[in-house]
């Protein structure tokens, strides 16, 4: 697992960096600094991009490129690569160090803000690239109630099944035009951030765990709100804000109390609402989908079939 020694510190919920390049996502592309200018990390247009995503502080792109050389540049965000095709040979140079990697599908790269590097891929490569603003990890650390400092190191070749599954699911969601909505997107972003911190951040501190689930009154308040707003694209921040919890603690406490994640519960309630509306035969499946918060009829059908074993149309014929 080749590494460099560039580090960034997340301390008491705030992000500190000695690197001059730590900045913000100023564009809708995964970008780096070349001199004083912000430019896309990869030349050309990505196969897919997340400019219309529900995420804040997180960009995702899928690239399919031939041999390419990226000149010396500086990262302003955490950058996570997942190679989805190959194999391909890669050379990297950073902080006076060089490395040669024979990367295969599933190989990953993790680079921290402030890192200056140049990279050459010597063959055809397919990859998913995520740009994660430092504030996103800082927020995750704060919500996990981490104290002290967290340091991260660059890693130019490693494999992580959990991160691979998360990036693959985020890519699938991007490809479906965010059909699962903002709440699911929030959960994915939170899972990605917390996984990076827990597995690749180094600290002598341990998280303060919140014991038990939500109180009965808080659970009732959240469930009532969900029921009244099933037609909307609910997000995790909105639900956690109702009872003054961080998103991280809310998601965990809700699961402890309800036995399912907030997203799973919302989908269950939408399917139940759809079952009632399907009895009104004047409503089309698309109208039922819209009234229950599904992105479209196809998304309703997928969730309905998973829960009931039949499609909405088949369910209606059985009534």
pTM above 0.85, yes or no: no
Q: Whole-angstrom Cα distance, residue 278 to residue 243?
A: 33
Burial class (CB in 10 A: 0-12, 13-18, 19+), 157: buried
Q: Whole-angstrom Cα distance, residue 218 to residue 254?
A: 10
Residue 233: Cβ within 10 Å count: 18
pLDDT value of residue 122: 94
Vertex 116: Cα angle to 114 and 118 (nearest 5): 150
Task: For the chain, give the mean pLDDT.
Answer: 84
CATH superfamily of this structure's domain 216-318: Homeodomain-like (1.10.10.60)
> In which residue ranges of the chain is pLDDT below 50?
1-8, 12-13, 17-26, 204-210
Q: Whole-angstrom Cα distance, residue 270 to residue 285?
A: 13
Kindly report, as residue ranges, where domains of CATH 2.60.120.280 are found in the chain.
Answer: 9-200
pLDDT value of residue 36: 86
pLDDT digits (tens, 9 = 90+) for 154-205: 899 999 999 999 999 999 988 888 888 888 888 888 889 888 988 888 764 4
Kindly report, as residue ranges, where domains of CATH 1.10.10.60 are found in the chain.
Answer: 216-318
pLDDT value of residue 50: 75
What class is the 9-200 domain? mainly beta
pLDDT value of residue 156: 92
Q: Whole-angstrom Cα distance, residue 54 to residue 201?
A: 26
């Amino acid at each position: 697992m080749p590494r460099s020694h560039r580090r960034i510190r997340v301390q008491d919920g705030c992000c500190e960096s000695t690197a001059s390049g730590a900045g913000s996502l100023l564009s809708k592309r995964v970008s780096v600094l070349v001199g004083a200018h912000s430019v896309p990390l990869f030349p050309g247009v990505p196969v897919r991009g997340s400019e219309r995503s529900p995420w804040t502080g997180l960009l995702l792109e899928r690239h399919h490129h031939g041999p390419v050389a990226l000149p010396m540049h500086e990262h302003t965000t955490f950058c996570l690569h997942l190679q989805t095709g190959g194999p391909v040979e890669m050379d990297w140079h950073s902080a006076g160090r060089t490395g040669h990697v024979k990367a295969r599908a599933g190989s990953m790269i993790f680079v921290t803000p402030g890192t200056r590097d140049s990279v050459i891929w010597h063959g055809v490569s397919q990859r998913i690239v995520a740009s994660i603003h430092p504030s996103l990890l800082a927020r995750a650390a704060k919500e996990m109630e981490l104290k002290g400092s967290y340091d991260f190191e660059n890693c130019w070749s490693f494999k992580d099944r959990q991160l691979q599954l998360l990036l693959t699911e985020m890519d699938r969601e991007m490809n479906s035009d965010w059909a699962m909505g903002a709440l699911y997107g929030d959960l994915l972003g939170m899972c990605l951030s917390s996984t990076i911190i827990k597995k690749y951040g180094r600290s002598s501190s341990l998280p303060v765990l919140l014991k038990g689930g939500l109180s009965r009154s808080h659970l009732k308040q959240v469930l009532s709100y969900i029921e009244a707003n099933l037609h909307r694209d609910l997000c995790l921040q909105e639900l956690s804000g109702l009872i003054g919890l961080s998103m991280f603690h809310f998601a965990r406490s809700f699961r402890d109390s309800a036995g399912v994640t907030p997203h799973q519960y919302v989908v269950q309630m939408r399917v139940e609402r759809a079952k009632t509306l399907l009895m009104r035969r004047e409503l089309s499946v698309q109208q039922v989908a819209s009234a229950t918060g599904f992105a479209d009829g196809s998304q309703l059908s997928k969730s309905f079939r998973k829960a009931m074993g039949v499609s909405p149309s088949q369910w209606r014929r059985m009534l």
